[in-house]
Structure 1
Amino acid sequence: MNTSAPAPPPSRAERVRALFDAIARRYDLINDLQSAGLHRLWKRTMVRWAAVGPGQRALDVCCGTGDVAWRLAATGAEVVALDFSAAMLEIARRRAARRGARAARIQFVHGDALNLPFADNSFDAVTIAYGLRNLADWQEGLRQMLRVCRPGGRLVILDFGKPAHPWWRKIYFGYLRFVVPLWGQWLAGDRAAYAYILESLESYPAQLGVLQALQELGCQPLEMRNLLGGAMSLHRAIKPC
């Protein structure tokens, strides 16, 4: 008779890491399909909001396959790209290696957004695209990113939102519940990874909650832009001097 105790369930961080490791190979393709390619436009906007250039340093947290880091490096800035998924980072490194000289300005780091391995006031801008809501403690994630951002530096956040209009929210959540997991099943063989998007939104305060948290952390000025009627949102905050 087996009397050993059952294994404890995986932590949220372990679960998210496993999900992203599993879908890394098809991550960009599925993002293109589920957003009709619009995520690329939104990422270009967030890089403009980061407002970095030659002689400056930028940190991209939850960098995934490196597309935001690549755009930041195109400005001439020195870029650190951090992710806790080794599979995502490997793809990001391979993509950068194929793209030539610009890749020399990107340093890839395997690390945790809740314990950033950088000194205070290290970066002129910090970006995070589609990563904040996945953190086990998104508010601590904000505090960490602000800690490593220099006074007067920019924090730019792109993530899923919650539309204010009840009918659009119902349609949008239905899309996330029924359609997006099918993309994951068809293209990555992993329905659960994309069903997780809606699950993660249920406990995430989305654009208004993030705005309030940034205000409580003393950031100013603040800018928020709803995209697709609030289905996505962009925030830019300036770290207090």
Structure 2
Amino acid sequence: MNYQNSLEFARQLDAEDSLSHFRKKFHIPTDTNNNELIYLCGNSLGLQPKTTSEYIQKELQDWAKLGVEGHTEGEHPWLPYHELLTKNMAKIVGAKPNEVVMMNTLTTNLHLMMVSFYQPTDKKYKIVIEADAFPSDKYAMESQLKFHGHDEKEGLILWKPREGEELCRFEDLEQILEKQGEEIALLMIGSTNYYSGQSYPLKKITGLGHKYNCKVGFDLAHGAGNIQPNLHET
């Protein structure tokens, strides 16, 4: 397809969009004149599905009728509730169901994962993230460095585009590891950069990190649902 920077071409794509009917399933905010807004903040908070209040009301009714027993009884017991979501999420991220769990929020999960997998030493403690990483990711990495007694400015290495360019080059990440691999404990990269939209080669990054005995983590918050990460193969 030959993409064109024109209003006519944009309207053509909208008309041919096989998923356009899903738009009707969401509440769309309006302006002061009650005109629907063009919503581009899905990376921060997605639009509310119109069925949301119905599903929440069902759980509130179970809470009212069952109290604490709602954890193990009712139509959808709360304790294993995450299992209802596992199969579909596994498809989205390209993993096996036994490799996936739905829990908590992004930054909380980053900290929980790093408690287990980020085990720095006095020499090998540095963390590589991409420049313009999602801010809360950067804050979490800085917090972990400080928690382990390291200076966050010395310990955080930015993989960034070259001057005059907008995208990160894999060969520049290779150079970072070649020069500082003995000091780097973790690569924490977004699968898709929320700022530029660049998607990174996850399998190549994983192989590169393991070559230098580094743990490798990916934040899929802006990639899952937009690209197919194929985590199991990564």
TM-score category of the 2 structures, normalised to the smaller one: 0.3 to 0.5
TM-score, normalised with respect to structure 1 = 0.38
TM-score, normalised with respect to structure 2 = 0.39
Higher helix share: 1
Higher strand share: 1
More relative contact order in 1 or in 2 (CA 8 Å, sep 6+)?
A: 1
**Larger-Rg structure:** 2
